[in-house]
Amino acid sequence: MSNYYLAVDIGASSGRHILGYIEDGRLQLEEIHRFENGMKDVDGYKCWDSEALFAEIKAGLKKCKEAGKIPVSMGIDTWGVDFALIDKDGNKVGHTVGYRDSRTQSMDAELSKYISEDDLYGRTGIQKQLYNTIYQLLAVKTKQPELLEKAETLLMTPDYYHFLLTGKKAAEYTIATTGQLVNPATKDWDYELFEMLGYPKHIFPEIKKPGSVLGELSADVAEEVGFSCQIVLPASHDTGSAVMAVPSMGVETVYISSGTWSLMGVELEEAICTEESKKANLTNEGGYDYRYRFLKNIMGLWMIQSVRHEYDDKYSFAELCDMAEEVKEFPSRVDVDANDFFAPDSMIQAICDYCERTGQPVPKTPGEVSTVVYQSLAECYGRTVKELEAITGKTYEAINIVGGGSNAAYLNQLTANATGKTVYAGPGEATALGNIVAQMLTAGEYDSLAAARKAIFDSFAVKTFLPQ
């Protein structure tokens, strides 16, 4: 009987428990549990409901027990940059504030009192995003210093849930790098930077590589869910896991991890922290085995998710794609990375206002709004490919799109057209797959990441889109 490995993949809008196992030489996946997620307004902040999320994590474990499919190990991946502060008794200090909260506004000006943006990028290789952990912590230090005084440990979101499951604290490498607080040369926290900013050094736990065994479920959790298993740290940043599942088959390709965000980049062995990469707003996030994910954070499907929600979810994403394709000649485009679209009260209105302000036709139908989003995204991908090739000095043969967005055939075709490159789409469950593969590598199911990627290629359908 094959061993089961459990990936708990929590995104900004939903989470799921996926069991992975090998059967007849092929990787198999089985969804065990799915649940909703999202930020809520609490005391004037946009917050994650960490208690509800932990309850859902345990609910999924109980379903494994009910199904008689007990995993030998599990690991959690989530979005990046957000964190929880923990006191000496292991209790959360303050709220688990989300990255779309406004508390970091003007924190770049505050940060410039301590270090320039150029020096910061040179030290961390991470693109400027006002929601990065470095700015969030500065907001806490500036506006709520009492929280830092009470805190004994800072745990990034997946690290926090691993702690609740095991009672053990650690910082997983890939999620740590998202916060702009890790030095790519030392692959450790930048303690000199902490001194400059006045961040207490003691709150940052030891960094561990993906694939590390954290420990077993605590006795209390094991009793509640009905079994115990190992916690193996995956690439805990969801993009880090997704990139592990890119079935590139040895050919150097650009990848797009396509979900709420589009993370578009290449895999490198050394970080690139140059003036050119900073100007292009490219980032060096840590990956499995100390690889670097040299990429750009692009607004992604958040825009179409928001549009769909504003239409009362009466259209599926497939229907929005179809309607967009019917009016594909609609000419208007938006800058998908403009701040207008980060957290607007109405995404549709933000798109219409942008078009009106820039002298373009204003979309009126769901199809027109959707085609503006999809066409604008594809054109952004086209520009980003050129930047990646110019800075790395390489020409890439193809683009691998993984994650939920790989199912958007219309967008995949637009991407092939805009980049002039062959697009390979799939697998859709890349994040969960990467999480599971990290556990399998630790268990010895595969002897290398290359072997695991070949298994993914052989096990899951990948569609091809040629430029037109």
The residues that are catalytic are 238
| Phi, psi of 85, rounded to the nearest 5 degrees | -100, 135
Number of H helices, E strands in the chain: 18, 22
Residue written as tokens 């779309």?
A: 100
Q: Which DSSP helix (H) or strand (E) runs through 173? A: helix 173-177
DSSP E strands, 365-448: 398-402, 422-425
Q: How many CA atoms lie within 13 Å of 166's alpha carbon, on the beta-carbon side?
A: 22
Beta strands 292-298 and 283-286, pairing class: antiparallel
Closest CA to 127 of 288, 265, 260: 265
Closest CA to 252 of 397, 353, 381: 397
Gap between the Cα atoms of 351 and 369, Å rounded: 8
Closest CA to 73 of 198, 152, 162: 162
- Contact between residue 176 and residue 228 where contact means Cβ atoms under 8 Å apart: no
- Could you tell me the two tokens for 119? 């020096």
Closest CA to 83 of 102, 66, 62, 97: 97
Query: Cα–Cα distances in Å, from 18 out to 30, 77, 283, 435, 451?
Result: 6, 12, 29, 10, 21
Closest CA to 172 of 185, 154, 193: 154
Could you give the angle at which helices 366-392 and 409-419 cross, rounded to 10 degrees? Answer: 40
Gap between the Cα atoms of 198 and 249, Å rounded: 46
